[in-house]
Structure 1
Amino acid sequence: MTPGNDFDEAAEPKLFTALLTPHRSLSRTGFLALMLFVGGVSFIAGIVFLMMGAWPVFGFFGLDVLAIWWAFRVSYRRAGDTEEITVTPTELRVRRVSHRGQVVEWVLNPLWVQLDHVTHEEFGIEQPFLVSRGRRVSIARFLGPDEKASFVKAFRAALQAAKRGPTYNPLT
């Protein structure tokens, strides 16, 4: 083979690429303001109970603030999760990276993949997943129902383009 005829995988066109990350509606400043508000309300309520002679209740109000802080800490840590989905004419790649750095990757043939989803009457698409050779891979878990519907529409179009095959223009 001559160098001009070498097959270059990097030259394969990407029909669809999505990098999905969890949405966090509360910023760090908002979190600080919320924790100050919850802490202040809990402290004032705890002082009221302390004045009434129910001193053990004061500690339980502190535990509530600690539980809320811990839940937000876990939520912010999980914000580092990502899911990258790429479709080319010959390959469908789903790559998940957890907040701990663990990588799970599936490489599928787009000709053998079907896109299926669970739909709820009231809420719309709940869970899209890929089906290939009897295996199911859940995708787009981070998205809301409207975003999932848009994602499914675009992804289905990319899968159909991959199944049609590449189109070559001899003029370019």
Structure 2
Amino acid sequence: MAPPASPEHAADLQVFAAEITPHRSLGRRGALILVAGFGIVSAAVSLPFVLMGAWPVVGFFGLDVALLWLALRASFAQARACERIALTYVELTIAKITHRGERREWRMNPLWTRIESETDDEFGMTRLAVRERRMAVDVAQALSPPERAEFADAFGAALATAKAGPRRAVD
């Protein structure tokens, strides 16, 4: 059994922590295979044009391959963005880090914090925000509506635990 939490160490006790990153279904190896396969198919399709003397068509096929590579590269760069949420008994910290590494951070008192959500009958939970007095911060934007609802349930339970405060073990 863990020793009881003393009030002076309550700030150190983490009640909830989450890092939310955008989902990417294609990994780097899969992207490389896709671009290489697309390049091979483009080369095979452009070969008859070269044999007919329409060699500039090869450049356009090459441009397609290059644009696909650039689009996948931009997608992987966007995947570096994340949200970090940490909740202790005395503080809620929400940090949003962009794909460029720019960081915005909000600090809130859990006792004054509540969760707000918007739900659509057809799509599910479309918005989740954390509000403290006049300040509201949207969270879990990278999650799908069902994942957002699941996150809201877990975070709501953790927020209720933080509001109740650390419990001492009864001897």
Note the C-alpha offset of 1:36: 1.2
Structure 1, gaps ≥5 residues long:
none
Does the CA contact (< 8 Å) of 2:81 and 2:97 recur in 1? yes
In 2, distance between residues paired with 1:91 and 1:29? Answer: 40
In 1, distance between residues paired with 2:126 and 2:91? Answer: 25
In 2, distance between residues paired with 1:111 and 1:49? Answer: 70
**Which residue pairs with 1:124 in the alignment?**
124
**Which residue pairs with 2:115 in the alignment?**
115
Taking every aligned residue pair, what percent have the same amino acid on both sides?
Answer: 42
Note the C-alpha offset of 1:20: 1.8
2:138 matches 1:143: no
Q: Deviations over 1:89-134 (max 9, x none)?
A: 2211111223333221110112222212232333322331212222
In 2, distance between residues paired with 1:132 and 1:56? Answer: 61
**Which residue pairs with 2:76 in the alignment?**
76
Equivalent AA in structure 2 for residue 156 of structure 1:
G
Note the C-alpha offset of 1:56: 3.9
Note the C-alpha offset of 1:60: 2.3
**What TM-score, normalized to structure 2?**
0.81
SS at match of 2:111: coil
SS at match of 2:93: strand
Note the C-alpha offset of 1:75: 1.5
Q: Deviations over 1:41-61 (max 9, x none)?
A: 222233344445554443222
In 1, distance between residues paired with 2:158 and 2:25? Answer: 30
**Which residue pairs with 2:89 in the alignment?**
89
Equivalent AA in structure 1 for residue 8 of structure 2:
F
Structure with larger RCO (C-alpha < 8 A, sep 6+):
2
In 2, distance between residues paired with 1:121 and 1:50? Answer: 55
Structure 2, gaps ≥5 residues long:
1-5
2:162 matches 1:162: yes
**Which residue pairs with 1:152 in the alignment?**
152
- Aligned CA-pair RMSD: 2.4
Note the C-alpha offset of 1:136: 2.2
Q: Deviations over 1:8-45 (max 9, x none)?
A: 465x3222111222222212221111111111222223
**Cα–Cα, structure 1 residues 128 and 48, in superposed 2: closer, same or farther, change >3 Å?**
farther
Note the C-alpha offset of 1:165: 3.1
**Cα–Cα, structure 1 residues 64 and 103, in superposed 2: closer, same or farther, change >3 Å?**
same
Equivalent AA in structure 2 for residue 29 of structure 1:
R
**Which residue pairs with 1:7 in the alignment?**
8
How many residue pairs were aligned?
A: 166
